[in-house]
């Protein structure tokens, strides 16, 4: 057996059993408890977990790391969108490529090899932001796969000019059709927004990923409209609903009805807990709603749930480090996920669950799959989330991209 790369002394991410992985021509060709011959390169996993790499399901590359002069004083989503509408007028391609590149390198070093980015398409930016993000995708295609979602953040019925821009954005290389129906005037216009998006999706045979009900206002339940439209169009399994915050403020009867339809429509839900915890509930009196999707109920109903970073140090969110384990552990806090099976569910969100919505049918640690792996300095899901430890190695298509060693030195008193 001629191996390019062998990883020894690891454990399987699924069962915790000892494992060695052999890689040739960019693919996994052997998975054995022990005894693989040496390859051209040999890595020591140090007893850590070998896992398929992470997937970032919801991000915005173009406004990552915009910080100086863009301070959101109210801390609300509304002010963030207003601030960004001004800032976006002066974004250049070079600037987007530089900041997006920094965000991508942080993501890759944390083991993320796929990233879905929503790109603002509207009457202000027209297609200029898409140009920048597409250039960033091109500049980084040797280290990460990027999907682009055409995202009409300022509305379609509110800003009819954006409809033409959305068609043009798909023509110019966006992969998915996005949306933000709760940004329209009322639920009737939200329905029209969803209808327009599906017209475009049908014409391009594209999947759909919308920002849904990112608000505390229980009036908004466009998730229900999205589920109904998905079924009507036969788009089951091809639609993602991101955010879904308002369901935190719905009564239980409405939540049960809509979650039922979401399951029937095969919609995946991406929760962006860090951002939602920060932006929602700002102007409400106590007791405040939690402001995030009902993750526990969705999981219990059999809905596929993933999580996303959404924003990185900008007017929407001051923090972030492009680490899916940080996002997953914040999600676990926000959604009360503490039992062992719930911890496993949180750990799977940026991995197996996200692979279903991308979709990546070949995802996983299995013979024949492309070798897109991480060696994680953890021995269990709970340890991975608790410590968010080093990604000792990040391997893409059989090639080591990064190696990370945090070096703690003790100087104990004698
Ligand atoms: Zn978003």
Alpha carbons 167 and 177: distance in angstroms, whole number? 9
For residue 123, the model assigns a pLDDT of 87
> What is the end-to-end Cα distance of the chain in Å, rounded?
52
Cα radius of gyration rounded to whole Å, the chain? 21
Closest by CA to 130, choosing from 77, 180, 183, 170, is 170
Topology at the third CATH level for domain 5-47+365-403? Urease, subunit C; domain 1 (2.30.40)
Alpha carbons 18 and 233: distance in angstroms, whole number? 46
Alpha carbons 259 and 305: distance in angstroms, whole number? 12
Quote the ligand 1 centre to 118 CA distance (angstroms).
Answer: 7
Quote the ligand 1 centre to 271 CA distance (angstroms).
Answer: 10
Q: Are 337 and 301 in contact (CB under 8 A)?
A: no
Quote the ligand 1 centre to 167 CA distance (angstroms).
Answer: 20
Strand order in the sheet with 54-59: 54-59, 112-120, 145-151, 176-177, 208-212, 239-243, 268-271, 305-307
Alpha carbons 254 and 227: distance in angstroms, whole number? 14
Quote the ligand 1 centre to 321 CA distance (angstroms).
Answer: 16
Determine whether 68 is exposed, middle or buried from the number of CB atoms within 10 Å of its CB (0-12, 13-18, 19+): exposed
Q: E strand or H helix at 325, and its extent?
A: helix 324-334
Quote the ligand 1 centre to 410 CA distance (angstroms).
Answer: 42
For residue 168, the model assigns a pLDDT of 97
Question: Residue 242 — φ and ψ, nearest 5°?
Answer: -95, 155
Alpha carbons 250 and 216: distance in angstroms, whole number? 9
For residue 69, the model assigns a pLDDT of 76
For residue 372, the model assigns a pLDDT of 98
Quote the ligand 1 centre to 339 CA distance (angstroms).
Answer: 29
Q: Are 29 and 1 in contact (CB under 8 A)?
A: yes
Q: Are 394 and 53 in contact (CB under 8 A)?
A: yes
CATH 2.30.40.10 domain range(s) in the chain: 5-47+365-403
For residue 124, the model assigns a pLDDT of 84
Alpha carbons 337 and 344: distance in angstroms, whole number? 9
Q: Are 7 and 403 in contact (CB under 8 A)?
A: no
Quote the ligand 1 centre to 59 CA distance (angstroms).
Answer: 6
Alpha carbons 296 and 301: distance in angstroms, whole number? 9
Alpha carbons 191 and 394: distance in angstroms, whole number? 43
Q: What is the mean pLDDT of each run of 10 residues along the chain (414 residues)?
A: 96 97 98 96 98 98 91 93 90 96 98 98 91 98 98 94 96 97 97 98 98 97 98 98 97 98 98 97 92 97 98 97 98 98 98 98 96 98 98 98 96 91
Quote the ligand 1 centre to 335 CA distance (angstroms).
Answer: 19
For residue 264, the model assigns a pLDDT of 98
Strands 5-12 and 27-32: unpaired
Alpha carbons 341 and 172: distance in angstroms, whole number? 43
DSSP letter (8 states) at residue 351: I
Topology at the third CATH level for domain 54-357? TIM Barrel (3.20.20)
Determine whether 181 is exposed, middle or buried from the number of CB atoms within 10 Å of its CB (0-12, 13-18, 19+): buried
Which residues have CB atoms below 5 A from the ion given as ligand 1? 310
Quote the ligand 1 centre to 75 CA distance (angstroms).
Answer: 16
Distances in Å between the Cα of 100 and the Cα atoms of 237, 270, 295, 318, 357 are 29, 21, 29, 16, 23
Distances in Å between the Cα of 311 and the Cα atoms of 75, 189, 279, 335, 341 are 14, 27, 12, 19, 28
Instruction: Kindly report the pTM of this predicted structure.
Output: 0.97
Quote the ligand 1 centre to 129 CA distance (angstroms).
Answer: 15
Beta-carbon contacts of residue 298 (< 8 Å; ≥ 6 apart):
259, 262, 269, 305
For residue 68, the model assigns a pLDDT of 84
Q: Are 233 and 266 in contact (CB under 8 A)?
A: no
The alpha helices in 110-206, defined as continuous H runs, are 128-139, 161-171, 187-204
CATH 3.20.20.140 domain range(s) in the chain: 54-357
| Residues noted as catalytic | 214
Quote the ligand 1 centre to 243 CA distance (angstroms).
Answer: 8
Q: E strand or H helix at 107, and its extent?
A: helix 93-109
Distances in Å between the Cα of 314 and the Cα atoms of 77, 103, 180 are 12, 12, 20
Give helix 252-264 / helix 222-233 axis angle, nearest 10°.
20
């Amino acid at each position: 057996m001629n191996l390019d790369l062998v990883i020894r002394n690891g454990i399987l991410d699924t069962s915790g059993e000892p494992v060695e992985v052999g890689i040739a021509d960019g693919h996994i060709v052997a998975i054995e408890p022990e005894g693989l011959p040496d390859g051209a390169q040999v890595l020591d996993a140090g007893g850590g977990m070998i896992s398929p790499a992470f997937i970032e399901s919801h991000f915005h590359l173009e406004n990552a790391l915009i910080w100086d002069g863009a301070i959101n004083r109210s801390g609300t989503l509304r002010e963030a969108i207003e601030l960004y509408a001004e800032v976006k007028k002066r974004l250049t391609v070079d600037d987007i490529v530089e900041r997006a590149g920094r965000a991508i390198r942080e993501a890759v070093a944390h083991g993320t090899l796929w990233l879905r980015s929503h790109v603002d398409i509207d009457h202000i930016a027209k297609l200029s932001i898409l140009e920048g993000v597409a250039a960033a995708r091109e500049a980084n295609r040797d280290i990460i796969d990027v999907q682009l979602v055409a995202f009409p953040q300022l509305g379609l019925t509110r800003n009819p000019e954006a409809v033409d821009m959305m068609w043009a954005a798909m023509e110019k290389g966006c992969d998915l059709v996005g949306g933000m129906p709760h940004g329209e005037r009322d639920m009737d216009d939200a329905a029209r927004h969803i209808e327009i998006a599906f017209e475009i999706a049908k014409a391009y045979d594209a999947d759909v990923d919308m920002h849904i009900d990112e608000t505390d206002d229980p009036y908004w339940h466009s998730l229900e409209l999205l589920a109904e439209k998905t079924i009507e169009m036969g788009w089951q399994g091809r639609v993602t609903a991101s955010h879904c915050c308002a369901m935190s403020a719905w009564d239980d009867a409405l939540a049960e009805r809509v979650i039922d339809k979401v399951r029937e429509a095969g919609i995946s839900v991406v929760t962006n807990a860090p951002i939602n915890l920060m932006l929602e509930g700002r102007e409400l009196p106590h007791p405040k709603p939690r402001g995030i999707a009902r993750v526990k109920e969705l999981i219990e109903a059999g809905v596929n749930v993933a999580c996303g970073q959404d924003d990185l140090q900008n007017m929407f969110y001051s923090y972030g480090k492009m680490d899916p384990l940080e996002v997953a552990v914040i999600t676990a806090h926000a959604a009360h996920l503490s039992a062992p099976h719930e911890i496993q569910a949180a750990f799977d969100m940026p991995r197996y669950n996200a692979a279903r919505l991308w979709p990546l049918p070949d995802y996983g640690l299995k013979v024949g799959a492309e070798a897109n792996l991480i060696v994680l300095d953890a021995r269990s899901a709970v340890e991975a989330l608790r410590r968010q430890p080093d990604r000792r190695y990040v391997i893409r298509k059989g090639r080591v991209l990064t190696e990370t060693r945090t070096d703690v030195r003790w100087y104990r008193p004698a």
